[in-house]
Every structure is written in C-alpha cells, then in structure tokens.
Structure 1
Amino acid sequence: MTGLRTMLRELDVFAGELPDFDPAAAPDDPAELFTRWLLGAVEAGVPEPHAMTVSTADAAGRPSARVLILKNVEPGPDGGWQFAAHGASGKGHDLAERPYAALTFYWQPLARQIRVRGPVEPAGAAHSAADFLARGEGARAEALLGRQSTPLSDLATRDAALAGARARLAREPDLVPPEWTLYTVRAREAEFWQGDRDRNHTRLRYRRAVDGGWARELLWP
C-alpha cells in the first residue's frame, strides 16, 4: 500500500498544452459556454466528450453515480441538459423518489471540468420514444429487457435474452418500452473549472437568479 501511495503521488497531471479561460468573456448563459467547451473538446480529439457522470440519491439520501451519454443541451429558462434511462433502473427509481441530479464532465487533455446541478423533469412519451428509436439496435435490445442492475445467473442467460430482444425488435422495429424516459436537468448551478499546472485553477460558477437569469461569481481554487 505504501508503494501504491507513492506511485499515485508521482503520476503526472495537467500535462500538455492547456487552453486559456477568461471568465470575463464568458456568455450570460452557462449552456452557451458549455457548448463552446464541448465543441472545443471535440475539436481537440477528447475521447467521448459527451460522456458524463450522473449522480443521484435514493429516498434515504444514499448517493449513486454512473456514466451516461449527454443527449442534448439547450440554453434559456426552458432548456437544460438531457439524458435518457429506463424508469425501472436504479437511476430511474432514484429520480422518481428524488427528482434532482448532478452532472460532471471531465476532459482530461484540456484539464477542464464542468459541474451541473438541478431538478430533473421527465419528458413526455413522444420525446422519450423518439430518443429510444434513435438508439442503436444493441442499445435498444438491452433497454428492452428492463433488467438493468438486477442479479444475473450467468452470461449465457444474458446472451440468450439479448438475442430474443433483438429478434423481437426485428419483428417490431417501432417497439418502445413505456418505461423509457428522456430526462432534462434544469440547472440551478453550473461551474466551469479550468486546471492549471501551478494550481492557479480558474473556477466560474453560474447560479440561477430569482428573475430567471444567471448570476456569476468566481470561486477560489
């Protein structure tokens, strides 16, 4: 364990060319700044820049986190950050009990991190169905099972169930499980973090104001 502790301390961080971030030039809406940073991550070749950690809590307040894919983000008071999940999954149960979530993006090559928190609203059946039908065949087959996070006896059982789900989708290509839900995080806070080798990190936080706009403030590293 001592060797592991030493090795972890010696690992390099914030290597390579890092981008600049001028908070004074940031737009009024955090969704606009997020989009700029996301497109910059895509241009820089960051792997899977649309992957994010989604954190929820159950009725007892016990947290849970997993990595999901961002489906869309829109500015304005009616916009937000979107992801999808099966309503019978662990995250689906969490959101039914506590409709609030935190999103975390980390783009390591750029030393950039974004944190978003806010209440979560489920979309209507039509929008949720459109999201499901836009998924790949394998993703739709897995979601159709509705067994995520439940105990599995062996991998052969999994493979047989997935084969059956694929066959069913081939017969019913427009099939959508009613539990499939597109969720929108209506941000109340959004923080943009730009790392620095000398630990002069730059942090800008947006907070939703009473009038529906956004208040901005710098944070200590």
Structure 2
Amino acid sequence: MSSLRGWPSFPEELPAFDTTDVPAAPHELFLSWLREAGEHVLAPHAVTLSTVDSDGAPDARVVILKDVDAAGFYVASSADSPKGEQLDKDPRAALTFFWPGRGRQVRVRGPVTPCDPEVSAADFRDRPPASRAEAFIGRQSQVLRTPADLLAAAEEADHRVRADPDLVAARWTRYLVTPLSVEFWQASHDRRHIRLRYRRDATGWVTERLWP
C-alpha cells in the first residue's frame, strides 16, 4: 500500500484563489468555480451527498446537482430511496464537490427541504426517457435476486414511460439544501492550502479564512 504515496494528487499548474476578492454570496463564487471546472474536468456537477441513517451512521453517494441559486443547492431523488428516507428522518445533509484536475473542492452543509410538488414534477419531466423509466423500476438498493427480474421491471417501466411521456413518479422529489456554511478549498503544492468559508449568521454571510 505504500505505493499509493507516489501517485500525484493534483496537476503541476493550479489556479489562483484570491480570497480578498470574492462575491458577497457563496453561490456566485460557486458558479464561477463550476464554470471554470467544466472547462477542464468531466461531470463537474457531480456531487457527493452525505446523510445519516436511522442509527446516526453516515451514508454517502454521488448524485447530480440540478441547480444552484441564492436559496441554495438542488438535488433530486425518489423519496422512497434510502437517501430520501434518511432525509425524511433527519433533514440535514452535506454536499462535497471535488475537482482534482483543478485542485479544488467545495463543501456545503445545511438543512434540507422538499421543493413544491410542481417543481419536483417539472424536474422529473426534464429527465431523459431512460432516467424517467429507471425511476419507475423502484426498489432501489434492495437485494436483486436475478438479472432477469431487473430486465422485466425495466421493460415494464420503459413501456409505461413510452405510453405516457408526461407520467411523473409520485414520490419523485427535488430537494433544496439551504447552506449554513460553504467552504471553498484550493490546493497548493506547498501544502498551505487556501480555505475560505462562508458562514451564515443573523445578518447574512460572513467570510473567514481557515487554517489548512
């Protein structure tokens, strides 16, 4: 396992990060970093969504960011999925974006609320046909006995979507993660990594440099 230390973590050239010249709101800086990452890395909108289960144990998976605005960060899933059930019991989450090709990560923490049903339905209709069909297969994370069971369920779901393109999965939900803190992390080869945290207080956003 010692050979892992020889693998490079970041490219030789890393972008600059001037923490004295940043927007007042974190979503503005995030969008700037996201656009820049999109020029260099695949799927910059992929994000690790972390929740806790009923025993308080952490759980995490990679999902796709749907949108971001001044209100917060949006992701979507079936409310019947493990992550949906976990958010129902403990509506708090963390989001982690990691762009190793730029030596950057963004960490978001805050409460989670379901969006209005109309917003969730519109999100579902915007999904590609195969993704909509996948939502109707259901039984996410349950034990699969045979591949034939999956094939049969997929064919049935595909037929439903083709028969009714406007059909929406009843439990599909778009979630809003309202950030209480957003941290921007820029790697540095001298290990003095640059960390800037936006922290929400009663008056708005406060920015703070953090030790590496």
TM-score, structure 2 as length reference: 0.98
Report the secondary structure of 2:101's partner residue: helix
Equivalent residue of 1:143, what SS? helix
Moved more, 180-189 or 163-172: 163-172
Deviations, residues 118-151 of structure 1 (Å, cap 9, x unaligned): 0001011110000001011111111112211111
In structure 2, how many angstroms separate the alpha carbons of the residues matched to 1:130 and 1:99? 22
1:196 has 2:191 as partner: no
Residue 33 of structure 2 corresponds to which residue in structure 1? 37
- The aligned runs of 1:156-167 (5 Å cut-off) are 156-167=148-159
Aligned-partner residue type, residue 9 of structure 2: V
1:164-184 Cα deviation digits (max 9, x unpaired): 100111111111111100000
Residue 103 (str. 1) matches residue 103 (str. 2): no
> Is 1:85 matched up with 2:77?
yes
Identical columns (%): 49
* Residue 104 (structure 2) aligns with: 112
Q: Hey, what's the Cα distance between the residues in 2 that align with 1:135 and 1:196?
A: 38
The residue that corresponds to 2:5 in the other structure is 9
Quote the residue 1:66 is aligned against.
61
Could you tell me how far apart the structure 2 residues matched to 1:145 and 1:14 are? Answer: 39
Residues 1:207 and 2:202 are matched in the alignment: no
- Which residue is equivalent to 2:44? 49
- The count of corresponding residues between Structure 1 and Structure 2 is 212
2:173 counterpart residue number = 181
8 Å Cα contact 1:194/1:203 also seen in 2: yes
Q: CA RMSD in A?
A: 0.8
1:21 to 14, 17, 20: 17
Partner Cα distance (1:168, 1:14) in 2: 46
Q: 2:119 aligns with which of 117, 124, 127?
A: 127
Specify the code of the residue in structure 2 equivalent to 1:173.
Answer: P
Task: Give the whole-Å Cα distance in 2 for the aligned partners of 1:148 and 1:56.
Answer: 16
Q: What is the alpha-carbon distance in structure 2 between the residues aligned to residue 57 and residue 152 of structure 1?
A: 24
Q: Secondary structure at the match of 1:65?
A: strand
The aligned counterpart of 2:209 is 218
Counterpart-to-counterpart distance in 2, 1:208 and 1:59:
28
Q: Choose 19-28 or 56-65, whichever is displaced more.
A: 56-65
Counterpart for residue 169 of structure 1: 161
Unmatched segments (≥5 aa) in structure 2: none
In 2, the alpha carbon distance for the partners of 1:117 and 1:177 equals 28
Letter of the structure 2 residue corresponding to residue 137 of structure 1: P
CA distance in 1, matches of 2:55, 2:147: 32
- Structure 1 runs of 4+ aligned residues shifted over 3 Å read none
Equivalent-residue separation in structure 2 for 1:173 and 1:55 (angstroms):
32
Q: Which moved more, 1:148-157 or 1:65-74?
A: 148-157
Letter in 1 for 2:161: L
- Measured in 2, the distance between the counterparts of 1:13 and 1:118 equals 28
SS at match of 1:94: helix
> Could you state the TM-score of these two structures normalised by the residue count of structure 1?
0.94
